[in-house]
Amino acid sequence: MRYNLLDTTGLIKTPRPVAAEPIATTRQPQPVGPEMIDPFGRAITYLRVSVTDRCDFRCVYCMAEDMTFLPKRDLLTLEELDRLATAFVEKGVKKLRLTGGEPLVRKNIMHLIRSLSRHLDSGALQELTLTTNGSQLTRFASELADCGVKRLNVSLDTLDPDKFREITRWGELDQVMKGIRAAQDAGIHIKLNAVALKGFNDAEIPSMIEWAHGEGMDFTLIETMPMGEIDEDRTDRYLPLSQVRTDLSERWTLDDIPFKTGGPARYVEIAETGGRLGFITPMTHNFCESCNRVRVTCTGTLFMCLGQEDAADLRAPLRASEGNELLSHAIDEAIGRKPKGHDFIIDRATKRPSVSRHMSVTGG
């Protein structure tokens, strides 16, 4: 049976949680310095921080079931993550997205979010946001809103509870639906992200779009990317979004619109539903020319491109001194070698993933 929000009873109202104390950081944000410009003239204004590689789901396209996670001692502390993100804000980052793994399973994550929200208050940061699987939102939605989080990306690949369990291995659709409703009740705008998977959710895509638009949510489709070894062959599931778009065009009127959220999605408006549909097409349409982002992992490794192995260690300079000079220098040096684009390939001849790390290391 399909999941229908109208059938859902018991959409619980969470009590407003007690606000977390801000992290005691000795450094206040400094005046914003010169922009980070990469060798291709792109200004880097968007940082994604993966705060944990752990997750309470095991989505089949993302992780193997028996994933080995990093030992806790290798992770940056919340104070170090704060210092690192703050250094980027001082260097011109305007948009900060926390991701994972599942960011909301990191212990005391609200301390970090509360602390980072000071950059919204100061105006240095324009947006603080998260990508989440939604499983913890009933618990955290109102506090996130209180910290100035205005938008969330929630990943949802199906509205069918059985299929949801199949794709996430460990997830419960009802829990996520309650989380989405809690976030909406807290005034947070939700964008749903779905990975398009052949033979899994292709037939369901139109009804998911109709449902999301009916609930006032944007909807974005993502092509599966060859990142990390998983338990199945990704070629079996790969569904080019050019094909999905063609199919949707036969049903609806899709108008290209210049709408941007700072990410790589290209948007259309669907006349019949009145909502926005985004396409993230790393495989069929390279979006690298407008790339404005870099990603840092929970161990302080900076990846200048999601689809390349080259990385810079920021943990050593972060820990080497209390000041940020070494860190700032390491960031500049890394931005100076940001590549032009990625090398993703999905075909039957390429048996190994293009990038050996899983998406849960750098986050989406």
Query: Which residues of this chain interact with ligand SF4, rule CB under 6 A?
Result: 55, 57-59, 62-63, 100-102, 133, 155, 360
Whether 19 contacts 146, CB under 8 Å: yes
Main-chain dihedrals φ then ψ at residue 132, nearest 5 degrees: -140, 155
b/e per residue 16-43 (b: at least 16 CB within 10 A): eeeebeebeeeeeeeebeeebebeeebe
Residue 58 contact, options ligand SAM, ligand SF4, none, Cβ 5-8 Å cut-off depending on partner type: ligand SF4
Pick 102 or 143: Cβ nearer ligand SAM: 102
Strand, helix or coil for residue 186:
coil
Decide: residue 328, CB within 10 A, 0-12 exposed, 13-18 middle, 19+ buried: middle
Pick 84 or 156: Cβ nearer ligand SF4: 156
Residue 51 contact, options ligand SAM, ligand SF4, none, Cβ 5-8 Å cut-off depending on partner type: none
State how far the Cα of 294 lies from the Cα of 312, in Å rounded to an integer: 11
Pick 129 or 324: Cβ nearer ligand SAM: 129
Chain residues binding ligand SAM by CB under 6 A are: 55, 61-62, 99-100, 102, 131-133, 155, 193, 195, 222, 224-225, 227, 359-360, 363-364
Pick 91 or 342: Cβ nearer ligand SAM: 342
State how far the Cα of 65 lies from the Cα of 67, in Å rounded to an integer: 6
Q: DSSP H helical segments within the chain, as ranges?
A: 78-90, 109-116, 118-122, 137-146, 161-168, 173-185, 205-214, 241-251, 315-320, 325-335, 359-362
Residue 180 contact, options ligand SF4, ligand SAM, none, Cβ 5-8 Å cut-off depending on partner type: none
Q: How far is the CB of 169 from ligand SF4 (least distance, A)?
A: 8
- Residue in 63, 65, 142 with CA at minimum distance from that of residue 100: 63
Pick 243 or 321: Cβ nearer ligand SAM: 243
Q: How far is the CB of 193 from ligand SF4 (least distance, A)?
A: 9
Residue 193 contact, options ligand SAM, ligand SF4, none, Cβ 5-8 Å cut-off depending on partner type: ligand SAM
195: part of which helix (H) or strand (E)?
strand 189-196
Residue 241 contact, options ligand SF4, ligand SAM, none, Cβ 5-8 Å cut-off depending on partner type: none
Pick 47 or 104: Cβ nearer ligand SF4: 104
Q: How far is the CB of 330 from ligand SAM (least distance, A)?
A: 25
Residue 52 contact, options ligand SAM, ligand SF4, none, Cβ 5-8 Å cut-off depending on partner type: none
Question: In the bound complex, which residue of the shown chain has the CB atom lying closest to ligand SAM?
Answer: 364
